[in-house]
Structure 1
């Protein structure tokens, strides 16, 4: 149950997609003066070292954020605004010219919320929960940020709907447990019944598993039946095929793609992601199968 550690995957292509979406969404939602409640159901440790043992073992950041940070070729078009905002956010956690620290969703969110907003962070993994609490304590944020070593699927119920009736929830479990897919759907469905105007953002892996392909379809059905707008973005960077090399070894591709599904997304988000996804396909492609999709409705 506690095997997943995001430190191995920090800064990979899935983080690039997820955090680009989170930043663009929160930048829009914080334009209105009314307080915003922000909930992260699976927070991780909050901050990661890309030169640490975990990240260097996997090397996933090299094919993710590092590709965007590399100098562009002469004559290349400027980065889409949403991608530039993402890189600026990552750079703000590092000394000039350094790329050693990667902020997870909790610290990205903390940078974007205002004095009147509140941030609720959930993490069940004992080591990551302890690290998250220690990292957040250094901010001296007082009551603005609360960290809970609890199951975010269940614990988030305590804070939605918020008194302000404005909220943003990010749900990005590891999906190592097959039941996570169903729990995502149950949680989002329950929250929508009680807090229909909240913005819900769900990250998920696109892998050869029926539940992974059913999740966005069922979220779309849920949003459509409730009469809510939705936005679905996916990024594929390589083939998902398992191959056998000349030595007879089975080579698994790792995570080839991921998606973000939002219910009640900011109206500005689709245009921002359209420009960003086109560039991500080019910059993060690992083979000729790289592609992206962007759908909306409601």
Structure 2
């Protein structure tokens, strides 16, 4: 696998993914009971937006940096995301956190993180970022296999009743990734049916996503919510026009918390024709 997230750190897709992630963590923290987070494709945990990789693509400048400079007011989910990024940056405005660092920042004493990263260099960097935090464990292993090995989550004799599984693959195989995603989600739901599962996906042409969405809707879960942000019209197969998150078993009122933040994202980072939407793939009846 040759993918390096440093080229894309802080782009519009990271912003959407991490805003939703922070909202999910905030929802989990509303209850005192401990929770477990499994990050299946964790990356290195921290990225330098001035570095060679990020500078070469300029994606962060058109994404998070532009959003931060726009300083949009208001929706609580947006402010929570911006505050979490700032807290993780430790005063360095060029530092951008990956998902495992955002999770580690949100954990309470009783909560735990298992972060999986297959690439040795990235896993080593992630261990350095999370060093000294007993709540966090880094596994250099295939993230899809972790759904079988690490679920249901346990620590010693303790079994976690609540948890979040974040699946953020590189999509090097593009649509060929879908079979592995669906298999991992099915395995995860079989082992941890009450867990929250969050899948990130790129959007080039929406029509190519429909087979995946049908399979996700057919999974044995009570509900599934798709949250999407397009920074340009959905008409180019050659570049990523937007991205989305499918949340399986979403927390109560996650849609109401996230939706007000999507317009400011589109306004700050989008081109002409930018859009957003929330769609229930499956919704349990009242």
- Corresponding position: 1:171 with 2:167: yes
- Corresponding position: 1:264 with 2:249: yes
Q: Work out whether residues 161 and 167 of structure 1, in 8 Å CA contact, stay in contact via their aligned partners in 2.
A: no
Q: Deviations over 1:185-234 (max 9, x none)?
A: 00101111221110000000112486544223321222xxx351221111
SS in 2 for 1:92: helix
Say how many residue pairs are matched: 276
1:157 alignment partner in structure 2: 148
Higher-Rg structure is 1
Taking structure 1 as reference, are residues 95 and 165 closer, same or farther at Cα in structure 2, changes over 3 Å only? Answer: closer
SS in 1 for 2:89: coil
SS in 2 for 1:51: coil
1:290 alignment partner in structure 2: 274
Taking structure 1 as reference, are residues 127 and 210 closer, same or farther at Cα in structure 2, changes over 3 Å only? Answer: farther
RMSD: 1.8
- Corresponding position: 1:203 with 2:200: yes
For residues 1-298 of structure 1, what are the structure 2 equivalents within 5 Å? 2-72=1-71, 78-94=73-89, 96=91, 98-137=92-131, 140-142=132-134, 144-162=135-153, 163-177=159-173, 178-208=175-205, 212-222=209-219, 226-242=220-236, 254-286=239-271, 288-296=272-280, 297-298=283-284
Distance 2:238 2:83 in 1: 30
Distance 1:207 1:181 in 2: 15
SS in 2 for 1:70: helix
2:156 alignment partner in structure 1: none
Distance 2:235 2:208 in 1: 18
1:249 alignment partner in structure 2: none
Q: Deviations over 1:20-44 (max 9, x none)?
A: 0000011111221211110000000
Distance 2:106 2:235 in 1: 38
Distance 1:275 1:141 in 2: 34
Q: Work out whether residues 200 and 263 of structure 1, in 8 Å CA contact, stay in contact via their aligned partners in 2.
A: yes
SS in 1 for 2:10: coil
Distance 1:274 1:71 in 2: 19
Q: Post-superposition shift, 1:105? A: 0.2
Q: Work out whether residues 204 and 235 of structure 2, in 8 Å CA contact, stay in contact via their aligned partners in 1.
A: no
What's the TM-score once normalised by structure 2's chain length?
0.91
SS in 2 for 1:147: strand
Q: Work out whether residues 11 and 60 of structure 2, in 8 Å CA contact, stay in contact via their aligned partners in 1.
A: yes
Q: Work out whether residues 9 and 61 of structure 1, in 8 Å CA contact, stay in contact via their aligned partners in 2.
A: yes
* Structure 2: gaps of 5 or more residues: 154-158
